[in-house]
Structure 1
Amino acid sequence: MFSFSNRASRLIPSRLVPQTCTVFLSAALFASAGLSSLAQSGSQPQSSSSSSSQPSEETTERPKIAPRIAQPEAGGSAVTLETNEPLFDLAVALNACGYDADLEHSIPVRLEIREEVNTALTASADARDHRDALCNYIRLHNMTDSGLNLGQYISLALYLNPPPQLTPTVEETELPPDSTQVVNILPLLRTFGEDVHLHALWVEHRPEYEAAVGKVHDSLTKMILATNVYLRLPVSSYDGRRFLVLMEPMLAPSATNARIYGNDYIVVGSPAAVPEDANPATAVHMDDIRHTYLHYEVEPLIYARASAMDRLLPLLKAVQDAPLDFTYKSDIAAFLTECLIKAVEAQTMDVGIARPKRPTQVKQRADLERYDAEMTEYNRQAEAVRRKSVDLSKRQGWVLVDYFYAKLGQMERDGVSLKDDIGEMVYGMDVDRQRHDAEQVAFLPQGTHDLVRRGPRQLSGLDLAEMKLMKGDLDGATSLARTALSDPAADHAEAHYVIARANLMQRQPEEAQVNFEATLKLSKDPRTLAWSHIYLGRLYDVQSEREKAVEEYRAALTVRDSRPDTKAAAEQGLKQPFAAPNVQHQEQDDNAPLDPSGKAEKDAYRPPSQH
């Protein structure tokens, strides 16, 4: 289960109160019949972003947290339920400036904090002036889409140091793009926070926040375990990927905000006020949280099979008229992921029918026969409900839901895990048949939008070097690649590959040859290996060493990179020697670059992968 800490109180000095209240889900082991145990974690993260470590009396200020929120130590839990003080500050500021969404369904602490803020504002004219400046900024940055409007502040909050700093934990260029639109709110927020004593309010109401988190805890634990039992996957320990659920009662309970930033899968929600005797799971949109968790579990399994994606691309042609977002009409891996998730949801949905109870005492054979008949009828009705959901998904454009629904049913009957079965699901798909079936679907005029928003990837290191190379910034690309070579943990093969191509464009064939040869010694990527051979073949052709060039082109074909442009380039090299397009003009222009890259091959300088 989650471990939970309740240490914050108004007696703790304000500068020592941790940024977050966090509960952790420890790793679990599966037996052949399913989940066998889920033990309480005995270790807690040591970062200042968790309430799991006692504040030291020698501490005088909070250390700067890592760019990613509440990052645990290796081996800790990958799944956490948290609160977050910068998010609290921004949510209170929004409330003070007219954010009343779903106020009537919020838990009492939201009204209590609003009233205390109003009392502080009434007592100070300066505070009111600062509030007005803050509200004016929020008004000027208002967006028509309420979800996007709130999302930009949530994005910013997740990358802030705790008060009183409230400064970004990364450079502005590394912030989520939507948050950069409102990053200049921070000076106004800091002043507002001092005026109304936001940190004192955070400490004062911490018990209510922890109580709200506690109510969600059990329901979230059951959801995580049930999902992993169905998929027959272990609840993983921290391996660089995180699934975080943040509770903020100052936000509207009716809306769930979910996003993926790099390796962090984040859901931000607010508990609703429910009767004491009600199911605690109804206090939050657990279906939305589960949908995001399925992204967290399913995406790595899909993207690990990127080499099989090209053969599935014809499926996208069949959904170009479907009411889908452009992402799913252009990214086959994203499309497959969403279809598989919807199929899991259909297989495990609450069908709204009471399941018959097996008799505890069987006195007559007729009792078992009656139960079997009731179960048969229940299964028939339940399947009808699920099939209706599947058919609706297909008409909304998710045409592979039917295929994955059937495959999941077989997986369940066979007792295998999704990880073991996903390969056959992807590689074994009859693409022509699925495309034909998709072409018969009459799409609805409107579909559904995925709850999860994915932040654009912030390029760095060799990925950024690749992008600079594509844009012609050769010095910048080379500098980043040489920096990677000095890092023992970096991809030295890719670094040499970047430098080699930059060498070509700078008319440095000898240096290029050295770096391509270094790439061949270090790389295990088929595409990098194949194109290194092709580049070397072209270099040899330019130097009139045809035999060596032919050997390189043949080597490129033996690597078996699956892309058609690779095969075409290598076969063309075997047919006739490569001639750099500008060779005939070198006498007129001594600065013209030696270019064995072949501009005709569009992927000669391939951009960094987005997955």
Structure 2
Amino acid sequence: MRRFAHFLLIGLLTAAVASPQRRPTRSDTPPPREAPPPPEPYNQLDSSETLFYVLAAINAAGYDEQADSSTNNPLRARVREYLAKQNLQSLAPLKRYVRDHKPRNPGAELGQYISFALVNKGKPDFTPANPDLPQPADADALYDFPAVLAAFYQEAKLGVLWQQAQPDYQRALAQLHDPVVFAVQQVNAYLRYVDTGVRRGRFQILVDLMGAPNQVQFRNYIDDYFVVVAPAVEQPIFDIRHAYLRYQVDPLGYRFADELQKKAKLGEHAYDSPLLGEQFRIDFVRLATECLIKAVESRLDRQSALAEEAAREGFVLAPIFAELLQQYERQEVAMRLYFPDMLNQIDVKKAQQQIARIDFLKERPVRTYRVTSEVKAPELTGAAKTLDDAEQLFLDREKAAGNANKAKELFLKAMQETDEKPMHAKSYYGLARIALLDRDLETADRFFRKILELEPDPATKAWALVYIGRLADSQGDKDPAQESYKAALAVQGISDLARQEAQRGLTGAFARNPKSKEQE
């Protein structure tokens, strides 16, 4: 019987879940290292012709999220009304497509079409800009959308509507221009960033007037960073500045990853935070980078409470970085050169004591906005509801003692309520993760492998293969681990986060190092 060592696996336990928020929402998904958008001329603050065509089409085909909100730009209503009056043969296939590709989470519908537009070549064929590279998971699910969209684009003469919409976009861009310029200059000045013209990638803010209001969508494709801003009750400058900080600070994390990993023990206590996203649980470098960003925000706004609040949400290094930034401000070296010195100043033992005193928040504080229309998820019944309840208990396992055991009971109950193999696969996925919590890695491995026999959906199958690879890596079994990661990447419909973890696994990021016993 194989004996498993417990090796940095618990951080993978919670699957990433995107949901609508009451503040202007940020689709702050973990940066997928995937297909870059098309290499076309751009400005830092601009509109997107392709995005307009995509969203105009889905508005005509049944995308109604907050269509009656007074926060919408008037352009959305005008385009919807015009297209509704047209007798278009291409509309029926478009409606069927949009209906058949509605995600279970209503808040994710807009996001998948935004992703599609950002990695698209545009009119007239709307094919991927880089078809030979992996596409973002949500956009990949729309792989057969181009033909449907192209037919509608031609018949509806969307190009004419785009030209007529220019005054609306120019007004929206003008309203954002000065605040955005100030935010970008503020960050550049603080980090002492000088554009030498040699950096790869771009940062682009796109104004969206056709989607639901009060949303900010963020995307990172390889070296390119995008912020898509919808009409809002108040200008989302904080979110834009945060995204720009990501653009400037993320490269520091990649560049000094080895130095950051030496402080990885400081991230262990962060896993106790029920609010910390999965992307930060499985990647200390990303966690540390986000902590630095939040620390910079607290210094820019001269509000130390922002760093303290961030720590209570799981970003445990934010107050430590905020304190060190005070020394950075008193010298003249740019952050890109000063950062390793800042890391060397961290006293790990003292920092651990400071972090151990953090009282984590149970619920994330949010700003509230007036919402005039709300999309409700469909009611679940039977085994689907049992699985959903079990998953919620598992995700909330830190909030109440016994939640994990209750989740286990419900995962088992779901298998008794249905004979459907995909449902059984989801149950085994839950049971496997609970086995990991119990340090029963042999059972976890067996359950993850059982999933592959049960016609799992792409997300469950891909994550099962990633976990199998991680378990193999924990034993030093490199070849089986590599095979599992490759198999995960071959799953069509794999999530961005699972793809990223599989890609990292192929680089040997999770391979066991016998010389580093203290890290086990």
Shift, 1:213, TM fit = 2.0
Q: Does 2:357 align with 1:440?
A: yes
Partners of 1:417 and 1:211 lie apart in 2 by 36
TM-score, normalised by the number of residues in structure 2: 0.61
Q: Does 2:249 align with 1:298?
A: yes
Partners of 1:320 and 1:469 lie apart in 2 by 25
- Map Cα deviations across residues 187-224 of structure 1 (whole Å, 9 max, x no partner): 22222222321111112222332332233222211211
Contact 1:90 1:157 in 2 (8 A): yes
Letter in 2 for 1:471: E
Letter in 2 for 1:398: F
Of 121, 135, 153 in structure 2, the residue corresponding to residue 175 of structure 1 is 135
User: What SS does structure 2 have at the residue aligned with 1:253?
Assistant: coil
Q: Does 2:16 align with 1:99?
A: no
Greater alpha carbon shift after TM alignment, 196-205 vs 131-140: 131-140
Of 21, 42, 45 in structure 2, the residue corresponding to residue 81 of structure 1 is 45
Partners of 2:132 and 2:147 lie apart in 1 by 15
- Map Cα deviations across residues 63-114 of structure 1 (whole Å, 9 max, x no partner): xxx9633445xxxx9x622222221111112222132426411222222222
Corresponding pairs, count: 348
Could you say which residue in structure 1 is the equivalent of 2:197?
237
- Map Cα deviations across residues 346-403 of structure 1 (whole Å, 9 max, x no partner): 1122xxxxxxxxxxxxxxxxxxxxxxxxxxxxxxxxx6xx233222222111111111
- Map Cα deviations across residues 99-144 of structure 1 (whole Å, 9 max, x no partner): 2426411222222222221232xxx2xx1x5323322322222224
What are the within-5 Å matches in structure 2 for residues 391-410 of structure 1?
391-410=308-327
Shift, 1:266, TM fit = 0.7
Contact 2:173 2:207 in 1 (8 A): yes
Partners of 1:253 and 1:237 lie apart in 2 by 35
Could you say which residue in structure 2 is the equivalent of 1:111?
77
Q: Does 2:38 align with 1:69?
A: yes
Judging changes above 3 Å, is the alpha-carbon distance between structure 1 residues 145 and 564 closer, same or farther for their aligned structure 2 residues?
Answer: closer
Judging changes above 3 Å, is the alpha-carbon distance between structure 1 residues 472 and 89 closer, same or farther for their aligned structure 2 residues?
Answer: closer
Could you say which residue in structure 1 is the equivalent of 2:304?
387
Of 312, 319, 341 in structure 1, the residue corresponding to residue 293 of structure 2 is 341
Could you say which residue in structure 2 is the equivalent of 1:248?
208
What are the within-5 Å matches in structure 2 for residues 211-360 of structure 1?
211-237=171-197, 239-272=199-232, 282=234, 284-323=235-274, 324-349=276-301
Partners of 2:248 and 2:273 lie apart in 1 by 26
Partners of 2:59 and 2:209 lie apart in 1 by 11
User: What SS does structure 1 have at the residue aligned with 2:218?
Assistant: strand
Shift, 1:249, TM fit = 0.8
Greater alpha carbon shift after TM alignment, 260-269 vs 149-158: 149-158
RMSD value, Cα: 3.2
What are the within-5 Å matches in structure 2 for residues 10-29 of structure 1?
none
Judging changes above 3 Å, is the alpha-carbon distance between structure 1 residues 105 and 317 closer, same or farther for their aligned structure 2 residues?
Answer: same
Partners of 2:313 and 2:362 lie apart in 1 by 8
Judging changes above 3 Å, is the alpha-carbon distance between structure 1 residues 236 and 69 closer, same or farther for their aligned structure 2 residues?
Answer: farther
Could you say which residue in structure 1 is the equivalent of 2:124?
164
Judging changes above 3 Å, is the alpha-carbon distance between structure 1 residues 180 and 172 closer, same or farther for their aligned structure 2 residues?
Answer: farther
Shift, 1:147, TM fit = 4.1
- Map Cα deviations across residues 460-498 of structure 1 (whole Å, 9 max, x no partner): xxxxxx999933999xxxxxxxxxxxxxxxxxxxxxxxx
- Map Cα deviations across residues 493-537 of structure 1 (whole Å, 9 max, x no partner): xxxxxxxxxxxxxxxxxxxxxxxxxxxxxxxxxx99xxxxxxxxx
Judging changes above 3 Å, is the alpha-carbon distance between structure 1 residues 406 and 247 closer, same or farther for their aligned structure 2 residues?
Answer: same
Could you say which residue in structure 1 is the equivalent of 2:145?
185
Shift, 1:271, TM fit = 3.6
Q: Highest relative contact order (Cα 8 Å, sep 6+), 1 or 2?
A: 2
Contact 1:316 1:330 in 2 (8 A): no
Of 414, 419, 423 in structure 1, the residue corresponding to residue 331 of structure 2 is 414
Shift, 1:343, TM fit = 0.8
Shift, 1:306, TM fit = 1.5
